[in-house]
Amino acid sequence: MYYNVEIYKTKIDNDTLNNTLLQVAKTLEENGDNYIDNFPIKINPYEFKEIDVESWKQSNNIDLSFDAETTFNYYKEKYNINVENVEDIRRIITLRYLIEKDGYSNTKSVKIASNISNASYAKFNEMGSSFPGISTYVEPTVSYPYGELASHILGYVGPINQDELDKNPDYKQNDIIGKTGIEKVFEKYLKGKDGIKQIDMSVDGVVTDEYISETAITGSDVVLTIDADLQRATEEALAKDIADMQNGVLSGATKASEGSAVVINVKTGEILAMASFPNYNPSLFTDGISQANWNNYLNDGRHPLVNKAISDKSAPGSTFKLVTAIAGLESGAIDLNTKINDTYVYKYYNDYQPKCWLRGGHGWQNVVQAIEHSCNYFFYETGRRVGIEKLAEVAKSFGLGQKTGIELPDEISGTLSSNEVDSEWTGGKTIQTAIGQLYNDFTPLQMAKYTAMLANGGKNIETTIIKSINNPDGTQVSRNEIEEYVNNLLNKNGNSGSDLQLSADIIATIRQGMKGVTSDDAGTAYSYFRDFNIEVGGKTGSASTNNGTNAWFIGFAPFDDPEIAVAVYVKNGEHGGYTAPVAREIFAQYLGMNASQITEDTTVSSYMQIVR
C-alpha cells in the first residue's frame, strides 16, 4: 500500500488555488516525491517535449505558429498566474493542466501524486488548513515480492489508457489494469471492487472529516500451477547456460542470447515452470513506465518483453525424429528389427541429396540406435517410406503446430510442415520434414507437451497454468467457469492434439532410444548426464536457420515412472547438447537432488499465487 495526494474542487479564488498548487508541488519536491507532470513544455531553455507538437496544439486549440515560450506564456495567462519565478510558474501550470485534463468537482477528485513519502503525507495532514481541497488517501498497490521471477507468466499492470477505459466502463480514469500475462487474462477476478470514501470539507476547502461509506472488496486469489522454487531454478539454469555459451565455456555459440525452458507434469498437463530469457521487471510498469526504461526494453535485441515459451517458434531439428520413428513403426514402414545402412550421403533423390551429420555415416542402424545417435540418414529413409501425410498425422496428434490453449495471451500456433502448407510438394521436402526442418516451427510449450505425451505413452493432456481461483468469501471459481471464461477471452478452440493409440512395443522402443541419448556413451547428451543419479529419457536437436543454428533438448524423468517433461530452447545455441545442462538442473531441483537439507514447512504452498 502507499499514500497518494488528490485535490477536490472548492470555493476558493484563483490566486488561492494557484498558491495551494505551488505549495503542494514544493512540498513534494522537498521530500523527494514526484507529482504527475504531463505538461509538454520544458523551460531553461523553452522547448517542447518529444510529442507530436502540431497534433497537440490542434487538440488544445493553440495557435500553430506559437513556439514553446509563447505557448508557455499562453498558459500562464490562461490560468491567471501572478508569480514571477518561471520555475514556480511551471509548477502551477503543470498541476492546473492536470486538473483541466482530468476534470474535478467537489465529489470527484484528481490524483496529483502517487506513493508519496511519510514526510509529505504528514505535512499535508498536519497542515490541512494550508492546503484547501487537498486530501491524502491510502491506495493498495500491485507488488512483485519475487522480483523478476516468472515475469512473463505474471505479466504487469499499468495505468488504464483511453481505449481500455472505453472497453471497461466500470473503471475510472486513474485505475490500473492488467496489461500482459496472468494480470491481463484474469483482470476480472483480480481487480475486486473499490470502496467509497466520504470527505467533508468546510467552505474554505479544509477537510473536516472523512469516513468509509462503502467498504472495498478485495479481488480473488489466482493460484498458479507454477512451483516457485522450480521456476527460480529453471530461470537460473537457463541464464547460466546462455552465459556459458556467450563466454565460450560451450564453444561456438557466442551469438546465443535468448531462449526458453518449460517444465510440465506428464500426467496432468500442469505447467510447473515456464522460463523466458531474459526477464523484465514488472514493477517498473505499475505507475507507468518511464520512456527511458520503455526504450531500453524495446531496443533490446534479446526481446525481453516477449514470452518466448508461447510467442517464439523454431524448427525442432532432430527432436522431431521421434515423430518420424512413431510414424514409421505405426504404419509398418519400419519395424523393431529394421536396419538401415547410413552411408553418409542420402542418394534416393537425384535433385536433393543431403548428408548425415556424422562424416562417413553411422553404418547399419535400427530405430533405437538411430534415435540414440540422431542419425539423419535413417530418418530420411524412414520419412520417405512413411510419406508426408502420415508424418503430419502423427505430429498433429502431439499438438505440434497448434496452440495449446494455455491461459496466457499472445500464444502463437507455429507451423507444421506438410503438403497443406505447400501445394508444390516433393519427396525432398518430405525427408527435410522428417528430421524437423523445412516449414516445421514450434513453440517451446508445444515441445514440452509433445515430450510429456512421449513420456506418458501417447495420452493427450490439456496444458494449464491455473491451479485455482479463490474468492474472498472462501469459495472457489469452478473449473468450467474458468475454462469458459478463458475460451471466450482468448478465442480458444479447445485442446490441441489427440490420444495416440501406441502399442507397448512402440512406446518401449521410443523411450529406449531416448534413454540411450543420455546414458549410452555414444548418445548425443551422454556427456551431460553420465554421472547423473537418475535415469533420464532425452533427445537433442540442432535446427538450422538463415541466421544460425537453434538448440533444443527435450526429456523426461524419472525414466521408469515419468513425472515431468522438459523442453529447453536457445536461439543460436548451435548444438542441441548445449541445452542439456538446463534440463539436468531442472531434474535435479524437481527430484530433490539439489537439497542439502530439507525442512518441512506446513504453513506455505509451493504454488505461486498472484494477488492484487
Does residue 168 fall inside a structural domain?
A: no
Task: Give the model's pLDDT for residue 602.
Answer: 36
The residues, any chain, with a CB within 8 Å of residue 178's CB and separated by 6 or more, are: 155, 156, 157, 184, 185, 186, 187, 190
Does residue 597 fall inside a structural domain?
A: no
Do 395 and 436 reside in the same domain of the chain?
A: yes
Task: Give the model's pLDDT for residue 202.
Answer: 63
pLDDT digit string, tens, across residues 516-563: 999 999 899 999 999 999 999 999 999 988 888 999 999 999 999 999
Do 241 and 92 reside in the same domain of the chain?
A: no
Do 445 and 419 reside in the same domain of the chain?
A: yes
pLDDT digit string, tens, across residues 223-268: 999 999 999 999 999 999 999 999 999 999 999 999 999 999 999 9
Task: Give the model's pLDDT for residue 125.
Answer: 85
Do 235 and 90 reside in the same domain of the chain?
A: no
Does residue 228 fall inside a structural domain?
A: yes
How confident is residue 421, by pLDDT bands cut at 50, 70 and 90? Answer: very high
Do 391 and 347 reside in the same domain of the chain?
A: yes
CATH number of the domain within which 447 lies: 3.40.710.10
Query: Does the pLDDT at position 11 exceed 70?
Result: yes
With CA atoms as reference, report the closest residue to 321 among 454, 215, 449, 226. 454
Task: Give the model's pLDDT for residue 603.
Answer: 40
Task: Give the model's pLDDT for residue 226.
Answer: 97
Query: Does the pLDDT at position 600 exceed 50?
Result: no
pLDDT digit string, tens, across residues 430-489: 999 999 999 999 999 999 999 999 999 999 999 999 999 999 989 999 999 999 999 999
Do 283 and 205 reside in the same domain of the chain?
A: no
Nearest-angstrom CA–CA distance, 338 and 355: 21
pLDDT digit string, tens, across residues 340-351: 999 999 999 998
Is the separation of the CB atoms in 379 and 321 below 8 Å? yes
| pTM of the model as a whole | 0.81
Nearest-angstrom CA–CA distance, 99 and 38: 11
Do 508 and 565 reside in the same domain of the chain?
A: yes
Do 368 and 335 reside in the same domain of the chain?
A: yes
Amino acid at position 11, single letter: K
The residues, any chain, with a CB within 8 Å of residue 347's CB and separated by 6 or more, are: 353
Do 255 and 207 reside in the same domain of the chain?
A: no
Q: Which stretch of DSSP H or E encloses residue 468?
A: strand 466-470
Task: Give the model's pLDDT for residue 199.
Answer: 62
Nearest-angstrom CA–CA distance, 307 and 411: 9
Do 238 and 103 reside in the same domain of the chain?
A: no
Mean pLDDT score, 10-21:
93
How confident is residue 198, by pLDDT bands cut at 50, 70 and 90? Answer: low
How confident is residue 211, by pLDDT bands cut at 50, 70 and 90? Answer: low
* Number of domains the chain is built from: 2
The residues, any chain, with a CB within 8 Å of residue 291's CB and separated by 6 or more, are: 50
Task: Give the model's pLDDT for residue 511.
Answer: 96
Query: Does the pLDDT at position 163 exceed 70?
Result: yes
How confident is residue 2, by pLDDT bands cut at 50, 70 and 90? Answer: confident
Distances (CA, A) of 587 to 508, 518, 555, 584: 21, 13, 9, 5
With CA atoms as reference, report the closest residue to 386 among 335, 314, 346, 438. 335
Does residue 595 fall inside a structural domain?
A: no
SS3 assignment for 213-262: EECCECCCEEEEEEEHHHHHHHHHHHHHHHHHHHCCCCCCCCCCCCEEEE
The residues, any chain, with a CB within 8 Å of residue 467's CB and separated by 6 or more, are: 223, 224, 225, 270, 607
Do 327 and 201 reside in the same domain of the chain?
A: no
How confident is residue 126, by pLDDT bands cut at 50, 70 and 90? Answer: confident
Does residue 158 fall inside a structural domain?
A: no
Reading the block at residue 303, the C-alpha cell is 526481446
Do 313 and 423 reside in the same domain of the chain?
A: yes
Mean pLDDT score, 281-297:
92
Is the separation of the CB atoms in 399 and 448 below 8 Å? no
Query: Does the pLDDT at position 572 exceed 90?
Result: yes
Write out the residue range of the structural domain in which residue 49 sits.
2-139+186-219
Does residue 179 fall inside a structural domain?
A: no
Does residue 153 fall inside a structural domain?
A: no
Query: Taking the chain, what is the end-to-end CA distance rounded to the nearest angstrom?
Result: 11
How confident is residue 139, by pLDDT bands cut at 50, 70 and 90? Answer: confident
Does residue 292 fall inside a structural domain?
A: yes
Query: Does the pLDDT at position 204 exceed 80?
Result: no
